[in-house]
């Protein structure tokens, strides 16, 4: 590897899937959410492993992500959870991809397209149970029935999404239960009208554990499947023994010694207080390490922690390796992962950047060269 790269632990991924299988009710299968390049892990690396582990349904956010997964050889069903522009409806047909139906108006666009072109598109109805992002409102049950009874656009599933399932605040627990009950009541009513609902799914990573009793035919698993939490102290009632899948590493490109009073990087935001060995590393904010982590990031070099010093640049950053012996050009710096007795969890980066791991991981850029299994 040249500059910076990602290493993936296949055993960890499979182990996480197996822990989930043990935790989920027998009749609830796993939908692998591989959106945003599988949360930065590389969809084309992750999806085949999931398929091998028996995952038979995939979800992405964007049509192109779904096409990429399909072209990587996945024959299972793939659902696009987000919006697809009508100018791309033909690709849903061409690649046999299922589209989320976000509202009655959007259903009409899909139906018109199918009628005009004499084709069928498979769709899942999104239900807005309180998040108010996308989906049919429960009061639009008649429109849902019409969608199921229509032709061209063939409704093969129905789902909703909880928005505070990772929070233990009493009010939010009540809200999650109300969302789940709203969804289950709606699907009960549709079933009682004799509608074959197809694939039903409600719960994502956290909800599938915290609100297990509301599981449907599938749970849509993203972040926890990769062995990391969104934040250190999220609400999760059962520990699934998560194993982080991703490590982020980069090469040291240069080492120099500076004297007390000298400064490092743009803006001179770090001043040496002692004679300092400075190692430059070939990774920067354009690779996905947030610039706000300047002076608040660390790496593992030769089995020891090294503090990030000075501003993170677009393509490089600097580490203080004064206390680490024999650091040289070509050595590896680990920003997420383990080495020796040292571990850096992505949760730490997220906390220091005031965000969640989902954002840190999904922004790991395309310029990071390899996503390789070790």
Ligand X SMILES: *Cc1c(COP(=O)(O)O)cnc(C)c1O
Which residues are known to be catalytic? Answer: 35, 266
Supply the minimum distance, in Å, between the C-beta of residue 124 and ligand X. 10
- Shorter beta-carbon distance to ligand X: residue 134 or 353: 134
Residues between 13 and 52 with contacts to ligand X, criterion CB under 6 A: 33, 35
Separation CA 102–CA 123 (nearest Å) = 10
With contacts defined by CB under 6 A, name the span among 143-151, 192-200, 221-229, 295-303 that binds ligand X: 221-229
- Shorter beta-carbon distance to ligand X: residue 14 or 163: 163
Supply the minimum distance, in Å, between the C-beta of residue 7 and ligand X. 21
204 binds ligand X (CB under 6 A): yes
Q: Which string of x and - marks every residue 163-202 that binds ligand X (by CB under 6 A)?
A: ----------------------------------------
Separation CA 106–CA 239 (nearest Å) = 40
- Cβ–Cβ < 8 Å for 285, 313: yes
Q: At what angle do helices 43-52 and 10-23 cross, to 10 degrees?
A: 50
Separation CA 280–CA 297 (nearest Å) = 14
CB atoms within 10 A of CB 39: 27
134 binds ligand X (CB under 6 A): no
Supply the minimum distance, in Å, between the C-beta of residue 144 and ligand X. 17
Q: Name the DSSP class of 127.
A: B
List 41, 161, 249, 311, residue binding ligand X (CB under 6 A): 161
- Sequence-distant (6+) residues with CB within 8 A of 49 are 10, 13, 14, 373
242 binds ligand X (CB under 6 A): no
Q: What are 58's two structure tokens?
A: 């995939």
**Considering just the CA atoms, what is the radius of gyration of the chain in Å?**
23
List 223, 346, 353, 356, residue binding ligand X (CB under 6 A): 223
Q: What are 337's two structure tokens?
A: 């992962």
- Shorter beta-carbon distance to ligand X: residue 41 or 161: 161
205 binds ligand X (CB under 6 A): yes
Residue in 222, 166, 294 with CA at minimum distance from that of residue 40? 222
Strands (E), 9-56: 29-33
With contacts defined by CB under 6 A, name the span among 142-150, 220-228, 286-294, 365-373 that binds ligand X: 220-228
CB atoms within 10 A of CB 233: 9
79 binds ligand X (CB under 6 A): no
With contacts defined by CB under 6 A, name the span among 14-22, 113-121, 219-227, 305-313 that binds ligand X: 219-227
Supply the minimum distance, in Å, between the C-beta of residue 128 and ligand X. 12
Supply the minimum distance, in Å, between the C-beta of residue 312 and ligand X. 26
155 binds ligand X (CB under 6 A): no
> For strand 57-60 and strand 77-80, is the pairing parallel, antiparallel, or unpaired?
parallel
- Sequence-distant (6+) residues with CB within 8 A of 87 are none
Supply the minimum distance, in Å, between the C-beta of residue 221 and ligand X. 5
- Shorter beta-carbon distance to ligand X: residue 221 or 289: 221
> For strand 246-258 and strand 332-339, is the pairing parallel, antiparallel, or unpaired?
antiparallel
221 binds ligand X (CB under 6 A): yes
Question: Total number of residues binding ligand X (CB under 6 A)?
Answer: 11
81 binds ligand X (CB under 6 A): yes
- Shorter beta-carbon distance to ligand X: residue 220 or 371: 220
- Sequence-distant (6+) residues with CB within 8 A of 221 are 20, 30, 31, 32, 33, 204, 205, 208
- Cβ–Cβ < 8 Å for 215, 180: no
222 binds ligand X (CB under 6 A): yes
- Shorter beta-carbon distance to ligand X: residue 216 or 297: 216
- Shorter beta-carbon distance to ligand X: residue 216 or 278: 216
- Shorter beta-carbon distance to ligand X: residue 80 or 250: 80
- Sequence-distant (6+) residues with CB within 8 A of 325 are 302
Instruction: Tell the burial category of 75 from Cβ atoms under 10 Å away from its Cβ (0-12, 13-18, 19+).
Output: exposed
Give the interface with ligand X as residue ranges (CB under 6 A): 33, 35, 81, 161, 204-206, 220-223
């Amino acid at each position: 590897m040249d500059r910076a790269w990602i290493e993936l632990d296949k055993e960890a991924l499979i182990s996480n899937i197996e822990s989930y299988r043990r935790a989920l009710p027998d009749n609830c299968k796993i939908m692998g959410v591989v959106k945003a390049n599988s949360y930065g892990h590389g969809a084309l690396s992750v999806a085949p492993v999931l398929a091998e582990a028996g995952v038979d349904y995939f979800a992405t956010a964007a049509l192109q992500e779904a096409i990429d997964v399909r072209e990587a050889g996945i024959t299972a069903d793939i659902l696009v959870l987000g919006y697809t522009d009508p100018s791309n409806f033909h690709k849903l047909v061409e690649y046999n991809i299922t589209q989320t139906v976000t509202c009655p108006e959007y259903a009409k666009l899909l139906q018109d397209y199918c009628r005009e072109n004499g084709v069928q598109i498979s769709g899942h109805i999104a239900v807005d149970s309180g998040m108010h992002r996308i989906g049919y409102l429960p009061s639009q049950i008649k429109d849902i029935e019409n969608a199921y009874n229509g032709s061209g656009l063939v409704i093969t599933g129905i789902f909703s999404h909880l928005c505070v399932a990772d929070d233990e605040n009493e009010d939010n627990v009540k809200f999650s239960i109300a969302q789940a009950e709203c969804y289950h009541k709606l699907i009960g009513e549709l079933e009682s009208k004799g509608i074959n609902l197809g694939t039903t799914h409600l719960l994502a990573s956290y909800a599938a554990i915290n609100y297990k009793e509301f599981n449907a035919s599938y749970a849509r698993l993203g972040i926890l499947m990769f062995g990391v939490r969104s934040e250190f102290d999220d609400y999760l009632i059962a520990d699934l023994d998560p194993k982080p899948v991703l490590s982020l590493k980069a090469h040291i490109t240069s080492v120099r010694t500076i004297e007390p009073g000298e400064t490092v990087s743009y803006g001179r935001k770090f001043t040496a207080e002692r004679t300092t060995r400075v190692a430059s590393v070939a990774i920067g904010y354009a690779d996905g390490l947030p610039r706000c982590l300047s002076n608040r990031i660390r790496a593992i070099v030769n089995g020891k922690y090294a503090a990030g010093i000075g501003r993170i640049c677009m393509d490089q950053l600097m580490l203080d390796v004064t206390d680490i012996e024999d650091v040289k050009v070509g050595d590896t710096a680990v920003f997420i992962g383990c080495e020796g007795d040292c571990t850096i969890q992505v949760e730490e980066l997220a906390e220091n950047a005031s965000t969640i791991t989902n954002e840190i991981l999904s922004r790991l850029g395309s310029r990071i060269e390899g996503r390789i299994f070790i």
